[in-house]
Amino acid sequence: MNRFIIFIGTALLVLLTSFAGFCQPRLTASNQMYMEIANSQTHTFSNAFQVQITLEGNNKSYSNWSLGAILNQPITNAEGKTLPYSKIKLRLSAVNGATFQQIGSGTTAVPLSAPGNTALLINTSNYPIRNGLYDYYSQIVFTVDVIIEGGTYIDALKTWQAYSLNLAFNLLDSRKAELSRASATNGIQIRPDGTYTPAATYAIQVQDNARSGLLELKTMNDYVNGASITYSNGLIVTAATPYAIQVRTNSANFVAGTKTLPVSVANLQLTSATTSAAVTVPLAETAQTIGRGSTATTSAVSYKYHIRYFTKANDSRLINAVPDTYSGILVYEIIPQ
C-alpha cells in the first residue's frame, strides 16, 4: 500500500509540472511571401513574416512583455555574396488580438541588428498577454513588413541565387528574459534582368605638367607685382553626380631646410574650362571648396579645370624671406554631394 501511494504522488508531480510549463506564452513564426527586387529603389514587402503569440491556461497574465527580432546569420547566397543587414528594417504593420494603441509601440520601422543581436520591435508593451479566470486560450498575431533600402549598392548584388533572410523572433518578459522563440526564413532575389543604377564613379587627377607646380620669383618685378603660373586643363574631375572640389596643404608652411614660409603666401585660382567660372583662395592647411559640379548623369563625365598659382604684389613676407627653394604638398579632393 505504501508503494502505491508513493507512485501516485510522483505521477501527479510530473503531470502538474508539465501543465505549468504549458501555460507559458508560446511564439510561432512563418514566412508569407518570396521577396524579389528588380531595381535600385527602396522596396517594402508587406506581410513578409507573421508572428503569433499564444497563451493557453486559465487566469494567466504576462505584463510589460517585449517582442524582438534576431538575425540568425549573415544574409548570404550560394555564390557567397552578402546583403548588408544594415540595409534592412522590420516594421509591424498589422495586429490582431490587440491594437497598437493598446500596446503603445510597434509601428516604427526598426533596423536589423548584427547577427545574434536583438532588435526590439515592441519594447515593454502596455497591453498584457492574459487569459481571464474562465478564458483558456488567447492569441495576438502580428504582420511583419520587410523594408530593403534602395541604393547603388544593389547593382553589385544581382544574381539568380536567392539570399536567405533567417530571422528568429523572441518574446521577452518584463525583465527581458526570453519566454519563447521561433524562427522563419525568407528568400530575397535580386534579379539580374532588372534595371539598376550602378555605383557612381568618382575620380580626380592632377595632370603630369601640373603635378610639380613651380612658382618662381626671379626679378624685382615678381616681388612688386606678383608672380603667376597657369596650368591649362591641369585638373580633371570624373563624376556622375553633383560634387565639390576641395584643396588643402598638408602643413601650415612651405619648407626649405630649417627655413619656412606660411602657405598663404601662395594663392590658387581654379577655373572651369567649360563655363569659365573661377574660385580664388589663399592656400591653407584647412580644406577649402574651390569648385562644384551640379549635374547628375547616367554615366561618369570628365570635367577639366585650369590651375593658376600666384603671389600678391608687395607681399612683405616674400620680400623679407631668405631666398631659397621652398616646397610643400597640395592635396586635391572630390566630395560627392
203-336 and 24-195 share a CATH fold: yes
Domain locations in the chain? 24-195, 203-336
- What CATH number is given for 24-195 in this structure? 2.60.40
| Its pTM surpasses 0.75 | no
* Structure confidence at residue 154 (pLDDT): 96
Amino acid 133: pLDDT: 87
3-state secondary structure of 153: helix
Is pLDDT of 328 > 90? yes
Task: Tell whether the model's pLDDT for residue 62 goes beyond 60.
Answer: yes
- 98-132 in b/e form (b: 16+ CB < 10 A) is bebeebebbeeebebbeeeebbbbbbebebebebe
Residue 144 near residue 53 (C-beta atoms within 8 A): no
CATH T-level assignment (fold) for domain 203-336:
Immunoglobulin-like (2.60.40)
H runs (alpha helix) in the chain? 2-22, 100-103, 220-225, 316-319
Read off the pLDDT band of 241 (50, 70, 90): confident
pLDDT for the residue numbered 10: 36
For the cut 90, the answer to whether the pLDDT of residue 204 exceeds it is yes
